[in-house]
Every structure is written in C-alpha cells, then in structure tokens.
Amino acid sequence: MAEPSPAGSSAAAGRPRAAAVLLLTAALLAGCTTGAAAPPREGPPAPDPHSSASGRTTPSAAHAATLASLRKVDDHPLWTMRYQGGYDRLAELAPEPTPTGFGCSLFAAHGDPAAPVFGRNFDYAHQPALLLFTAPPDGHASVSMVDVSYLGLTSEADFTTAAGREALLKAPLLPFDGMNAKGLVVGMATVPAWEPGSDPARRTVGSVRIMRLVLDGAATVDEAVAVFGRHNVDPSDSPPLHYMVADAAGRSAIIEFVGGEMVVHRGRGPWQAMVNFTVTGSTEQSRQADHRYRTAAGALEAAGGRLPADRAMDLLARLRQGHTQWSIVYGGRSGEVRLATGRRYGTVHEFRLPMG
C-alpha cells in the first residue's frame, strides 16, 4: 500500500507536490460519464472474524419488523427503513443490472473540531432512494443511503409488491454512502480507470459491499483503511471507483487503486474534497481545471474548513448537476443527517443517528 502526501486540504491547495482529493464517477451529462455496470456479484460467504455476522433474532419476526418500519418521506420518492437484527454482510447478492453513469462530489470539512461535516452529492439517473438505519449485533449502528434500483425497485409501486419488499431486506448490503455511530463516514465516486490488486490470501468483496464492511467494522480513518487492506475489491462488474473516508476526530483520506496497489491520500489540513478524477498523479493545475473541484476547494479554503451543516448543504447546492439525485450532509459528532432529494434545496429533511 502506498501513501503519498495528501491532497484536497487547505494545506495542500497551494502546493504542487500534494496529491488531490475527490470521489465517485467519470464524466456523464455535465462532463461526467462512465460505462454501464452494476455492483458486482458477491461470492458465497465464508468464515471471517472481521466480516461475517454472528447470530440474529428470529428472521421472520425481525424481517416483519423491518418492513413495518418502512416510511415514505417525499415524492422523489425517498423512503426510510430501520433494519431489525443482524444480517450476513457477505451474503451472495445479484443486483438488478442498471446503467451506471454517476458523477458525484464529496468533501470533508473539519475546521471546527467540535462539528466536522461530510457532504456528498449523488449524481445519477432518477431512481427511488432509501435512507436505511441498521444496528447489527456484531457491528456499529449506522445510517446509509441506498439506490434501490440495484435491488430491482425502480418505481413507487415496487415498494408494495412482495418481491420488492423481500428485496428491501438486502438493502444493508448496498450502501452508496453512510455514517456509523462512531462518526466514521464513507462515500465513493467513479473515476476513469482503476487497477485493484488481488491477493489470494484475502477475501474478495464487491466495490459497494466494502463500504458496508467499513461502516460495520471501523471507527476511525485508520481502521477504515485497514478494512480495505484486508480485502480484495472486485472490479469485474463495477465502474472504476475511488473512496473517501472521514472520522469524528477530523481525519480524512481518499483511497484509490492504481497499478495493483491501494494508494491512500490522507488529508493534512481542515478540508478534503473529491470528484471524478483520479487523485493519484494529478497536479494542482489539473485539479483546478475541474469546475466542481475548483468550486468546492475555493469555498472550503475560504471558510478554513469550518462549515455548519446548513452551509455545507449550500455548497452541495452549488456543486449540483442536472442529474443530482440526493445531497446529504453527515455530522460526524452530532449524528445529524440532512438530506435533500432531486435538487430541492428548499426542503431539507433532518434525521439523527444516536452516537456512541
């Protein structure tokens, strides 16, 4: 694993030697596009003390309680659900194939140590969305966003069918971004290319599933990097991705896969930002050429990385594209979650994850 000097922070913004920051997707619509893909199929589970879930409550009762918690929040449609009991986070899953061409913007702002925030725009084709709360008996409680089209739910009517509701029980396996009760936040974005390595001594997991392992098992950026390091990330059925992680202590990092190695760009200043270019090998000039990165970096630098949650949402509004499906701000210490769907920034839904 290589760890070059970090980029995307205020300390890095003025130094050519720093690597840059960004997250999820190669240009679609407004300059960000990727090829078609779905999250990769997972292989059959095998024992793994770091990953496999232990006991659950009676599945039928827990599943019934989970589905009974389903609530519609708005007409995007956005739904919420509270998953009851445990789940096998390495269970086999074959998501419905959907075209993939997302372009996303992410940033971590921790200039105020008492109130770090993580903002993320998910830019993708219009689909229903689910805000999911989980509390597995063998992992950290968390809240995450799920694009349920990957489970085969593409309309509001699908939430009422037996097949659709059964599919929702697999939602914990597909977090597109999320925060756990320790304040660890993770998100991803596509990039033009990646080259994950493959170590036969490590378990191979999908490019989205790895984020569930991080949410359930990591409390800090170092622990999140270690989760990535214990696994091979399967690139076979996925668009190329890179990842951003941040924690309640104000640390952040961008994780990429280049030349068969995991490369970690750690933040050094009060902010870090990521869009859809590969940070590894980038220059300050090339980073500033990207409009969304330039906008995020300018705003974060001017604020010294100190952004209250409402101003973080305002910045996401400035970074929006015509296909932004959700904008979300996670409070790494407060547990607060602010969420706007479909670029409707006049209506921001507020939720809270109990921290501890």
CATH superfamily of 10-352: Penicillin V Acylase; Chain A (3.60.60.10)
Q: Tell me if the bond preceding 47 is cis, omega within 30° of 0.
A: no
Quick check: 128 and 77 in contact, CB under 8 A?
yes
**What ranges do the domains of the chain cover?**
10-352
pLDDT at 343: 98
**pLDDT confidence bin for 333, thresholds 50/70/90:** very high
Average pLDDT of the chain to the nearest whole number: 86
Q: Regarding predicted confidence, which is higher, 30 or 205?
A: 205
pLDDT value, residue 44: 36
| SS3 (DSSP) at 311 | helix
Q: Output the six-digit token pair for 36.
A: 């078609």
Rounded to two decimals, what is the model's pTM?
A: 0.84
Instruction: For residue 298, give the amino acid letter.
Output: G
Q: Is the pLDDT of residue 10 over 60?
A: no
pLDDT tens-digit map of 213-249: 999 999 999 999 999 999 999 988 678 999 999 999 9
As a whole number of angstroms, the distance between CA 89 and CA 62 comes to 16
Q: What is the pLDDT of residue 30?
A: 32
Model pLDDT for residues 260-316, shown as the tens digit of each residue: 999 999 999 999 999 999 999 999 999 999 999 999 999 999 999 999 999 999 999
- At 198-209, the pLDDT tens digits run 999 999 999 999
Does the pLDDT value for residue 20 go beyond 90?
Answer: no
CB 262 within 8 A of CB 255: yes
Q: How confident is the model at residue 327 (pLDDT cuts 50, 70, 90)?
A: very high
**What pLDDT, on the 0 to 100 scale, is given for residue 146?**
98
**338 has pLDDT over 90:** yes
The structure tokens listed for 25 are 């997707």
